Amino acid sequence: MVLALVTSLVLATVPSRGDGPDAPRDLPEPEGAAEFAERSASARLIDVRTPAEYADGHLSGAELIDVQGEDFRERVEELPRDEPYYLYCRSGNRSGHAARVMAAMGFADVTNIGGYEKLVEAGLSPDG
């Protein structure tokens, strides 16, 4: 029992994979939408869903870079690493994955702002 307690205390103090100063942030939709709206002049919005999902509707000003596409890393490699990026998908899962990949590639300011529908509900403008 003591060993289990010590182990859990040690594990609680060790950063999990993806934590640290360069790790991407995950913001729930209302907070993520508000932060992106404040920084929209200096930030890039990336929709990481499929082209079909994007065609059905996307956020105004969003650039499509499909995280499941074969060219995802190549497309991301072309982006400046010192700009802020806000990523979204349908639910926040794929954008969270894409944010972690971008952080591992050396992007300093990447934020997963969650799912499309909730972002629209939170006040971001849809296109399409």
Binned at pLDDT 50, 70 and 90, residue 20 comes out as low
Alpha helix locations (H) across 1-128?
2-13, 29-39, 51-56, 72-77, 93-104, 116-121
The average confidence (pLDDT) of the chain is 84
Residue 66 pLDDT > 90, yes or no? yes
Binned at pLDDT 50, 70 and 90, residue 28 comes out as low
Give this prediction's pTM. Answer: 0.78
- Max Cα-Cα span within the chain: 58
- Count of Cβ atoms closer than 10 Å to residue 17 Cβ: 8
Measured over the CA atoms of residue 113, residue 118, residue 120 and residue 126, the dihedral's sign is: positive
Higher pLDDT, 79 or 30: 79
| Cα–Cα dist 120/108, whole Å | 26
Q: What is the pLDDT of residue 22?
A: 64
